[in-house]
């Protein structure tokens, strides 16, 4: 809040907010006085006085701590009563990212954002476009005997995501798709038949689901992005390997949305061009 406030008005607002904070906390005036180390009469004066003077910084800070609010809110410098730590905790969360397919947390985020545009930079190929053979190759070594059950559950979730009311924009580095097609790097032991089947599925989904699903290829030599998903205006999630880092504050969501829009705007291949590129790519590896 940048509005200049008259001293008397600010003092009155302080009394109102102190009363509200005291009521919400469930503390009595005596209990608050004990916690901040002043006489009960001092608290009574703070709550009922009619002067233009505000208490000193130590008393304001002690009251804020005891009541679980921010000093800025008590002084009408903020409209949010939460402390800075609580605001940060609400804006940023860190959660484990199991080595699995579409886990429950990811699926919950997708359902929460149903109807909003979802922007996605995957760590490898997009999970929602993978064939069963591709999923088995990628996850069986880690999941072992539980792979079949996990893949079955994830296929149901992937199917829901494909049929949801959300629009999807996916930005993928060109080298990732080419490395997959030629079976190099991460994909070096993936059989040719599985790769061709996956490229066929990729082309089919890009064609059938367009324009609700749009995939763009960007040049990682010019642009870079860590794996992330932006769930409309609700949150932005980074994948850091062992954890997800989720932001819910609007400023950061807007910042990373602009970053994603740059990937799309400067993409070397657009969603319209991708099916033709996939067919050409298949021709180079299938001959």
Cα-based angle 55, 58, 62 (whole degrees, multiple of 5): 100
Which 3 state secondary structure label does DSSP give 85? helix
Amino acid 85: pLDDT? 52
- Cα 137 to Cα 95, 147, 150: the distances in Å are 26, 10, 13
Domains of the chain are 7-82 (1.10.260.40), 91-284 (3.30.870.10)
Question: Using one digit for the tens of pLDDT, what is the confidence trace for 94-133?
Answer: 777 665 555 678 888 888 999 999 999 999 998 888 898 9
Kindly report the number of other CB atoms within 10 A of residue 39's CB atom.
11
CA 217 to mean position of chain CA atoms:
22
| Longest CA–CA separation in the chain, Å | 90
Q: Are 109 and 231 in contact (CB under 8 A)?
A: yes
- DSSP code, position 269: B
Question: Using one digit for the tens of pLDDT, what is the confidence trace for 173-184?
Answer: 999 999 999 999
- Report the C-alpha gap between 35 and 40 in whole angstroms: 11
pLDDT higher at 100 or 7: 7
Amino acid 1: pLDDT? 44
């Amino acid at each position: 809040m940048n509005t200049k406030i008259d001293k008397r008005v600010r003092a009155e607002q302080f009394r109102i907010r102190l009363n509200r904070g005291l009521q919400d906390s469930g503390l009595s005036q005596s209990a608050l006085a004990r916690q901040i180390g002043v006489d009960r009469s001092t608290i009574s004066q703070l709550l009922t006085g009619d002067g233009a003077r505000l208490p000193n910084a130590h008393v304001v800070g002690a009251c804020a701590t005891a009541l679980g609010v921010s000093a800025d809110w008590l002084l009408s410098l903020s409209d949010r009563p939460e402390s800075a730590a609580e605001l940060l905790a609400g804006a940023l969360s860190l959660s484990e990212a199991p080595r699995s397919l579409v886990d429950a947390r990811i699926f919950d985020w997708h359902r929460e954002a149903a109807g909003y545009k979802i922007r996605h930079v995957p760590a490898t190929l997009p999970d929602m476009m993978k064939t069963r053979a591709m999923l088995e190759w990628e996850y069986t070594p880690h999941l072992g005997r539980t792979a079949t059950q996990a893949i079955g559950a994830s296929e149901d979730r992937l199917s829901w995501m494909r049929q949801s009311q959300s629009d999807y924009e996916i930005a993928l580095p060109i080298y990732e798709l080419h490395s997959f097609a030629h079976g190099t790097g991460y994909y070096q032991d993936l059989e040719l038949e599985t790769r061709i089947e996956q490229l066929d599925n990729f082309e089919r989904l890009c064609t059938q689901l367009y324009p609700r699903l749009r995939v763009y290829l960007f040049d990682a030599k010019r642009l870079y992005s860590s794996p992330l998903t932006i769930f409309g205006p609700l949150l932005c999630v980074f994948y850091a390997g062992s954890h997800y880092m989720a932001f819910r504050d609007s400023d950061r969501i807007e910042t990373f949305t602009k970053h994603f829009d740059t990937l799309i705007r400067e993409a070397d291949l657009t969603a319209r061009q991708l099916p033709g590129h996939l067919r050409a790519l298949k021709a180079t590896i299938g001959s």
